[in-house]
Structure 1
Amino acid sequence: MHCLHEWILLIIKDKRDLLHLKDTYYLTDCALHAIFQYMRSKKKLYSLKEIERLRKKTNTKFPILFTSTSAYVKFEYAVRTAIFVARKHELKLDQFDTLTIRFNMDGTLIGNKHIVAISINCIEGGRQCQTATNLVPLGLFEVQKENTELLRKTLPVEFINDIKSVKHISIGGKDIDIRVRLGGDLMNAVYVFGLAGFSSNYPCIFCTQHKDDLHVTEDTAYDKNITEGKGINKKTVTVRVGPTSYHDPAKRARSLAEQFSCLAIKPNDLGYKCEPLFGDLFNYQDYCVDTLHLKLRVFDVILKDILSYASRTGKYGGEHLAIIENKIKILNQHCERTVGKRFFFQVDSDDKNKTIASHGKLSGHLQDLFFVDSFPYKEILSDEIAKSARAVVNKFKEILNELKSSSIKRNGVLKRLSLEFVKEFRQSGLRTTVTPYIHIIGNHLFEFHELNDLRDYNMQGVEKSN
């Protein structure tokens, strides 16, 4: 019996050691499961040295260029590969005179190294080309931290110049123009365009609306008094603050010309921090908003605001804590019914006010399951705030459903829903300001929808491949 007890303890320790390895080296559940299945079928596991030898042998078949911190292929080679993939899904690809290549940048962790992974796909090949298995890897670049200047030092000049040089591709005797468009989340666009970021006075990457006026839409334009000059030259002028555009300079759309002009006079003016990472390769209209991250970030904000209100009880000490713990119990029961125990709530131990904190991560799919009609708004919020929060969530769901709808675009519907959402959000009392993503919904999302198929620029496949 004593030996059996020691054997059980040894098994438990081995499992804990394995869990420690998994967490330390960022092994996903899928990766660990795949390794387990491989060992069970092959009855052995090869050494890292043998795997590295095989990798080097395989890589000799591809024109991979290496530096001390990166590995990448020639852009033309990657583009031809992307077109080859696209041909499988769009048989009439040869009839296009111009092909659009989506240039995807995304930060990820490989082991304990911070990596910027770049991949491409051909838009005209359809949405099958943006799935994780059909994306064409372009390069991997190790960085200490993601920002414009560190990326500028990391990305080889030859790599950037190579991308700029590919303007046409000859396929079957036909010259096809190549247009490169940028994909990625908003933070990635901040780095690529050399902007000051979301904490600046001009946080939107598409326009130069001041942070104090991010909430302004077509429905809420107003006259604003601004004081200019000093001393005897001091004067007050009235300006019209209205909606902005991502492509119309007359409505404060950003441009490279404006950026270079501002940098020549005063860095950080209008949110321009430095020169773009790729020079003039991308203009601001080459970037299309990613609806995946828009969905994730907006739902994150809504949940954060709901928890903030739910943490206000009007009581103190033990009475406050008892109310908070009861609300946490209700929220965790909802989690178990919808998304399982991977996401949960508990008292924030770092906050002396004993607030509700969430733990875990909700992917886009899990957010759909989490924010269902049965979410316990009334059980954790006052009646008025509960009603407002439900209305905000439902209005945002309407926007997402419209974005996912068929290829037939209903004129003006997304614009109406977007303006209604911002109005509902502002009136809800959840917070007094709006975030850059909510500003984008109120000003730019419907513009993108009118001029692009937003489903072509979803980053779901890129996130999955990383």
Structure 2
Amino acid sequence: MRGEHCVQLTKEAISVTPKRTRQSTSHTSRKRTKLSCTGDNAARISDEQLFPRYELRDRSKLIKTSYDHMVYCDSTDDEEDDELTDDELLFDEKLLQFLKLKDQNNITDEAIRLFNILELQYGICPTLRQLKKLRAVLNKNIPVRKCNNGAYLNVNDAVKLLIHSDRSIIDNASDEVIHIKHNMDGTTIGASTNFLMSTISCVESGINKQSATNVIPLGQFKFNKENRSEIERVVPDEFIDMMEKKLVCLKNLKFELDFQMSLDMKMMWQVMGLYGITGQNKHKCPHCTAANMAEFGKYSAFDSAKGARTLDQQYKEIGKSKPGFGYQHAPFFRKKLHYKQLITDTLHMKLRISDILLAEIISLISITDTIAERGQHLKNVMTFLEQRAKDTNTNHKFTLTKKNEIEVADCLPFSKIAENLEYNETPKKY
């Protein structure tokens, strides 16, 4: 071959017509030219001749955005500014392997960013063996107790973990008492694996620390179904016994633990040994012995003289052949949990009442005879509720679809009910 057109390389190189050029000359034959010439003129061959150059999209003008739980940062960030050219990035074997590993194992950008921050502060990342050894040492100080159907922590150890995660608990504690909110509820993991979950949080931590990410797991028990017999089967007696009032010691400090139970209605009936809404039971309220809504206002969830439930009354009734007032069993935590320690489940009260009111509103606004009328029917409902929200100037919300939240009617006095305050205001009629 002619030397003025070709040079000899250590390896054979192939010059390929760039894709965009091929598209513009689609009717001409496409040939590959082999370059195998020798000589000092090898330096004359540019990278563009050996490797077709594709221009990457200019990202320098992109704006940092945040949506959902994803954060995108442009390439001008200081943490990414290593002054590498595009060609240097494309031929950096280390970067390519890290990117490949990151994508294959679904490692998020946020995880890499946090590791970079730790490396800047403390140097190179420790080995997995070191991290596992440290975790094993820490786990020795958190004794997990195993049973036939699950595992749990001693409540004292769990409270110490809670205080360690939020030191403000000690500062906010009054009269050397820490108020612990104990939650129990059933959940399903996967298709059909049911668990009874128990967690604790601290009232002194404030409202911002009551979310799911700030609670301490206390126990986890696998059961078949959420009912009283299954709860009794999977939860050991040791778990029940540790719930009575006790002291927790931290160095020279001693605090008394005051437990409150946060339960939904179904779990509350089961834990407290009540019939609930089953059968012919008329005393459905878990806090008082009222038999129907006509008696609302005459009863109290706190004053036993006004029908508030008590443990003494319950043990007296279950000793009879036919217990009254909706009692069925002894309380699950026996006499370690009193009715006054139950937190009113205002969330589910609002949801269920809202469901009933919404169903009534939808049925009264218009009637549909066919499925085809459903769209217009919902539009009529939306129009009515939006106008009612404006007229009443309230913030009570209902969800009709995934995209619409409607404000309707007047807010119900749940806060006054929970605080045992009188509510004498005459309700508005519409």
TM-score for the superposition, normalised by structure 1: 0.55
Question: How is 1:146-185 mapped onto 2 (pairs within 5 angstroms)?
Answer: 146-164=226-244, 167-185=246-264
Higher RCO structure (Cα 8 Å, ≥6 apart): 1
Question: How is 1:127-276 mapped onto 2 (pairs within 5 angstroms)?
Answer: 127-164=207-244, 167-199=246-278, 200-210=281-291, 213-218=292-297, 243-276=298-331
Q: Please point out which of 405, 409, 423 is paired with 1:415.
A: 423
- What does the per-residue CA deviation read over 1:5-49, in whole Å, with 9 as the maximum and x for residues that have no partner? xxxxxxxxxxxxxxxxxxxxxxxxx99x9xxxxx99822349xxx
Task: Report the counterpart of residue 393 of structure 2 in structure 1.
Answer: none
What residue ranges of structure 1 are gaps of 5+ in the alignment?
1-29, 34-38, 219-242, 314-319, 339-361, 373-392, 404-408, 429-466
Higher-Rg structure is: 2
Against the structure 1 CA distance between its residues 40 and 394, is the aligned structure 2 distance closer, same or farther, given a 3 Å change threshold? farther
Q: Give 1:82's aligned amino acid.
A: L
Matched, 1:370 2:418: no
1:139 alignment partner, SS class: strand
Matched, 1:68 2:155: no
CA distance in 1, matches of 2:274, 2:179: 25
CA distance in 1, matches of 2:399, 2:205: 24
- What does the per-residue CA deviation read over 1:312-344, in whole Å, with 9 as the maximum and x for residues that have no partner? x5xxxxxx624x7425433169779x9xxxxxx
CA distance in 2, matches of 1:297, 1:257: 31
- Contact 1:86 1:122 (C-alpha < 8 Å) held by counterparts: no
TM-score for the superposition, normalised by structure 2: 0.59
Q: CA deviation at 1:287?
A: 0.4
Task: Report the counterpart of residue 409 of structure 2 in structure 1.
Answer: 394
More helix by share: 1
Against the structure 1 CA distance between its residues 78 and 366, is the aligned structure 2 distance closer, same or farther, given a 3 Å change threshold? farther
Task: Report the counterpart of residue 14 of structure 1 in structure 2.
Answer: none
Q: CA deviation at 1:272?
A: 0.2
Against the structure 1 CA distance between its residues 366 and 86, is the aligned structure 2 distance closer, same or farther, given a 3 Å change threshold? farther
CA distance in 2, matches of 1:64, 1:174: 24
Q: CA deviation at 1:253?
A: 0.8
Q: CA deviation at 1:399?
A: 3.7
- Contact 1:105 1:183 (C-alpha < 8 Å) held by counterparts: yes
CA distance in 1, matches of 2:399, 2:251: 41
Q: CA deviation at 1:279?
A: 0.7
Q: CA deviation at 1:143?
A: 1.5
Q: Give 1:208's aligned amino acid.
A: T
Q: CA RMSD in A?
A: 4.0
Question: How is 1:105-144 mapped onto 2 (pairs within 5 angstroms)?
Answer: 105-112=184-191, 113-144=193-224
2:268 alignment partner, SS class: helix
CA distance in 1, matches of 2:318, 2:175: 39
Against the structure 1 CA distance between its residues 176 and 142, is the aligned structure 2 distance closer, same or farther, given a 3 Å change threshold? same
CA distance in 2, matches of 1:148, 1:137: 21
What residue ranges of structure 2 are gaps of 5+ in the alignment?
1-67, 71-98, 107-127, 386-396
Q: CA deviation at 1:162?
A: 2.6
CA distance in 2, matches of 1:41, 1:290: 47
